[in-house]
Structure 1
Amino acid sequence: MEDNRWKQFKLCGDYNVDLRSLYMAWATPAGLEKWFLRKADFYTLPMRHRDGDEQIGKDDTYTWYWHGYDNNVTEKGVVLEANGKDLIKFTFTGKSVVTVAFSTRNGLTIIDLTQEDIPEETDPEKNLLVQCQIGWTFYLTNLKSVMEGGKDLRNKRVELMTCFK
């Protein structure tokens, strides 16, 4: 049996926010920019740029831009699934796949985020499982902060980025 411990992980978060609002925070460029990205560009199959409040769809391609980095540092990928209500799946760094599933339990909205097919790396500084798990933990926390209280925890000051590298 294959050992998948270093090829995938799952994170969960509970949110005192309605499911639809959380889904839209993941499913629109403007939603992603509120808590995750500096800029989120999505393109339909005929390469039409999606508007900020327009929902992403299956087979869309994306280019993401991060706070603290110039426009040469991007993440590019493809939306594998976006069902319009409770599931989004996309390719991510290192050809891994991220699945975000939304559900409700005990009056809360639950997000289950799974990242799979993570390539193995022996160098801990380059280890995508470790780095992505740390990153997603922060961003799921920031999503909770932004959606429940309005406070954005991201560092948007480029001049301070040397403190974090």
Structure 2
Amino acid sequence: MEDIRWKKFKLCGDYNVDMRSLYLAWATPGGLEKWFLRKADFFTVPQRRRERDEQIAKGDTYAWHWHGYDNTVTEKGSVLEANGKDFIKFTFTDNTTVSVSFSTRNGLTIIDLLQEDIPQESDPTKNLLVQCQIGWTFYLANLKSVMEGGKDLRNKRVELESCFK
């Protein structure tokens, strides 16, 4: 019997940054490259590459490249929803989905990240839930660091790739 506790997880973070700036950090190629990706390419339905400061939209596809890895490592997927203000949903690794919601509380912007449809894996070293939860925890912390203080915590050296596997 499948254990549904391993099918999804939710993380949240609080940011002393206005909601619009945080939304754009997720919703533009240039925004994602400041804290998350080495290169974020988004393509409209007619396959036009979006500009660095142009907002993504439902139906866009993407090709992402990570710092610390060469160009052979690419994450591809599609944007399922992007409402322009407080919600983004996209496909991710192994046909999972990631939803990112933005709200405000007590003068802070809150980001709730939910990753769902995670396939169950019998080999613990390949457990996508654990690996993605670790990754997203780091990137949400890096988003806070970049947006609140300007310090980028990512490894940007390909020669160090093996220490992160």
Shorter-normalised TM range: over 0.9
What code does the residue aligned with 2:116 have? E
Q: Name the CA distance, whole Å, in 1 between partners of 2:162 and 2:59.
A: 36
Q: Which residue does 1:110 correspond to in 2? A: 110
Q: Which residue does 2:63 correspond to in 1? A: 63
- 3-state SS of paired residue (1:125): helix
- CA deviations on 1:113-160 (whole Å, 9 max, x unpaired) are 000000110112211100000000000000000000000000101222
| Residue 24 (1) aligns with residue 24 (2) | yes
What code does the residue aligned with 1:74 have? T
Matched residues, number: 165
Q: Name the CA distance, whole Å, in 1 between partners of 2:72 and 2:66.
A: 10
Q: Which residue does 2:163 correspond to in 1? A: 163
Q: Displacement of 1:3 after TM fit? A: 3.9
Gaps of 5+ in 1: none
Q: Name the CA distance, whole Å, in 2 between partners of 1:102 and 1:17.
A: 11
Q: Which residue does 1:38 correspond to in 2? A: 38
What code does the residue aligned with 1:12 have? C
TM-score scaled by structure 1?
0.97
TM-score scaled by structure 2?
0.97
What code does the residue aligned with 1:112 have? D
- 3-state SS of paired residue (1:113): strand
Aligned-pair identity in percent equals 81
Q: Name the CA distance, whole Å, in 2 between partners of 1:4 and 1:89.
A: 21
Kept in 1, the 8 Å contact 2:82–2:88? The answer is yes
| Residue 98 (1) aligns with residue 104 (2) | no
Kept in 1, the 8 Å contact 2:77–2:91? The answer is yes
Gaps of 5+ in 2: none
Q: Displacement of 1:2 after TM fit? A: 7.0
- 3-state SS of paired residue (2:123): coil
Q: Which residue does 2:148 correspond to in 1? A: 148
Q: Name the CA distance, whole Å, in 1 between partners of 2:57 and 2:11.
A: 24
